[in-house]
Amino acid sequence: AKLSVATVAVVGLVWILHSQTEQNAIHLEGIREQRSDHMELVQEIMIKQAENQEVLIKLVEEIARSKAKD
pLDDT grade for 15, boundaries at 50, 70 and 90: confident
Q: Which of 3-12, 27-36, 54-63 has the highest mean pLDDT?
A: 54-63
- pLDDT at position 35 over 70: no
Q: Helices then strands (H, E): number in the chain?
A: 2, 0
| pTM above threshold 0.95 | no
Neighbours of 1 (CB within 10 A): 5
CA torsion through residues 33, 34, 35, 37, sign: negative
Q: How far is CA 3 from CA 20, 48, 56, 58, in A?
A: 25, 27, 15, 15
